[in-house]
Structure 1
Amino acid sequence: MNLFKKFAEMNNLTNNEKALVNYILSNPTKTLTFRAQELADAAFVSVAALYRFINKLELTGMGELKVELVSSLKETQLSVDIDYDYPILESDTPFQITENLGKIYKRTIDETLSFSDPEELATVSQALLKAKIIDVYAASANLFFAQNFKFQMQEIGILVNVPEEDYIQRLSAANSDSEHLAIVVSYGGRGQTLNGVVKILHENQIPMVLITSVQDNPLAKYADYKIYMASIENHYDKVSSFSTRMSLLMVFDTLYAVYFNHQHEKNVHFKITNYQKMNKELR
């Protein structure tokens, strides 16, 4: 249900809940930038009151509140000046194509940022740091972004596994133990192989980060952590995954940058030293 409509249909609101509803309705865009404490402060309520209200909305936390808010804002937009699924017309010049893609990329970044939950990201970064082995499960073109994340992490001495073939993905999941952390990329949970992989990971009690859209995903119930991609495009009926690819790249780059920043000076030194070694060998 549209969050704004849900607000309108809620009866017997407490004074704290009224304050939160009024603030969110008056400042929806600003709300998307807040952490829980910041929203509570802005509405002059306690954090406990905020989370009681979130539970009353049948949401699990600040991240889901933002997801619902973004979706509701989209529904109430009067017009959209670009079609994300078909941004290229037969009559378009190369300049117009470039301009349209630029709009898509910019809005994709804005939407990905709006879905970002700082608290969830901090928790995920701690899980990554704790894990001795990081496995990334993806399919189709998403494998290229997983491989790029693997390359980035390897540059700072962290080995990441990206199994590609169906059998190897299931085998890697079956071999996983308490030292592993799994990152699963699944826009809507439709792939048979990843469905099987996730069930094996769940059976082995492997902590799992699910990178997904805000659309219903049957794999979400197995995830310990969820990171949301921009979810504008139709899954099937489109020219290409322009928006989804940009969003996934941003998510992986963010995970790498947050991981890197925990030991910034050490990682900078590690990269520079290794590049010097490699360049020395080429002389």
Structure 2
Amino acid sequence: MSSILIKIKSKYPQMNDAMKRIADYVLNNPNDVVFEKASTFAEKSNVSPASVSRFVKLVGYKSFNDFQLSFVAAQSRAEINDEDSLAYNGMKVGETTQEICQVIFSRSERVLNETLGILDTETMESIANYIDKAKRIVAIGVGRSKITTQALVSRLYRIGYNIVEYSDSHEIVNITSIMQPGDLLIACSNFGKSKSVVEGARRAKENGVTVVGITSVVDSPLANSADYLLLSAYDYASDKMGKLFEPSSENVAQLVLVDCLYMLVATKHEKENLNRYKRFSKEIVKEHVK
């Protein structure tokens, strides 16, 4: 039994009726917790959203998102049985091509579902508003995180937004030093610890720049430096195994978050942005080989 379930049981006697209904639901459906929004969780427990907030604080978490992520961690740890075997996001990859592909597809699907479960739509909408109004948008990320920032640039620039991407540490120092209020910095780091990205976020924030963080780790240095935060589900299994393996499932989830942002922004000036995209699409066909 995971430590969080043990903690809930230990606090059960001091809970009121509403808290016990929540506890009963969690203890009977521990695998469902990571996929549900707080409102759905409250409805299924037959309590108010306020009771859910009080419950997660009672068992030691700041927010419902933190509470959910603790279940992701517990599930991933439970699946790691042999640290000497090659694994992908906590699951042994198998031997045949079919087994390997099945593991990778299933883990990516799981991370997508977990990311949707912890998605804060209000934060997403706020970030979309900042993107739409920003004088200049800068995206920074190194290593695997470049995949996310490059995807963001490829989406937004084609509908006319002033966005650039940097992945070189010296260039990140340069651009974040000269950013000004009215600019928007979008900083991406899977573990939230990449030095150039975190320091770039802090530097830009000191200059009065609004900072958006995209990461998988709550309370990471990047998360704590950001004004707004988008979380993808954290690959706790990789962390448990000493980060020896780097599955791309986190990046898959972040690419989907980027597409959500892109569509939210595009709908703000739908007719204009649709015309821009049509013009781009028409011209890019000329680059295709016949």
Please tell me the TM-score bracket, short chain as reference.
0.7 to 0.9
Are residues 23 and 160 of structure 1, via their aligned partners in 2, closer, same or farther at CA, if it must alter by over 3 Å? same
Distance 2:112 2:207 in 1: 35
Match of 2:155 in 1: 152
Deviations 1:69-91 (A, max 9, x none): 322344456979982168667xx
1:83 maps onto 2:87 in alignment? yes
1:251 aligns with 2:268: no
Aligned to 1:123: 126
Distance in 2 (alpha carbons) for counterparts of 1:239 and 1:73: 18
Give the C-alpha shift of residue 185 in structure 1: 1.2
Give the aligned CA root-mean-square deviation in angstroms.
Answer: 3.4
1:221 counterpart = 2:224: yes
Separation (CA, whole Å) in 2 of partners of 1:44 and 1:120: 27
Q: 1:72 aligns with which of 47, 71, 74?
A: 74
Matches within 5 A, 1:174-193: 174-193=177-196
- Retained in 1: the 8 A contact 2:193–2:222? no
Residue 53 of structure 1, CA deviation: 2.9
Gaps of 5+ in 1: none
The number of equivalent residue pairs is 280
2:65 and 2:125 mapped to 1: Cα distance? 12
Residue identity (%): 20
Trace 1:1-283 onto structure 2 (pairs within 5 A). Answer: 2-10=3-11, 12-75=14-77, 83-84=87-88, 92-214=95-217, 217-232=220-235, 233-234=237-238, 237-276=243-282
For structure 2, the 5+ residue unaligned runs are none
Take 2:243 and 2:224, find their aligned partners in 1: how far apart are those partners? Answer: 27
| CA shift in 2, pair 1:100/1:59, >3 Å | closer
Q: 2:238 is matched by which residue type in structure 1?
A: N
* TM-score for both structures, normalised by structure 2: 0.79
Superposition TM-score, scaled by structure 1 size: 0.81
Cα distance in 1 between the residues matched to 2:144 and 2:234: 17
Task: Tell me the alpha carbon deviations over residues 116-165 of structure 1, each in whole angstroms, 9 at most, x when there is no partner.
Answer: 23343333333333433222110023223311210111111112121232
Residues 1:179 and 1:68: Cα distance change in structure 2 (over 3 Å): same
1:240 to 1:279, Cα distance in 2 relative to 1, 3 A: closer
Q: Deviations over 1:86-123 (max 9, x none)?
A: 8667xx45444434432333233233333323343333
Query: Is the 1:70–1:114 contact (alpha carbons within 8 Å) kept by the matching residues of 2?
Result: no
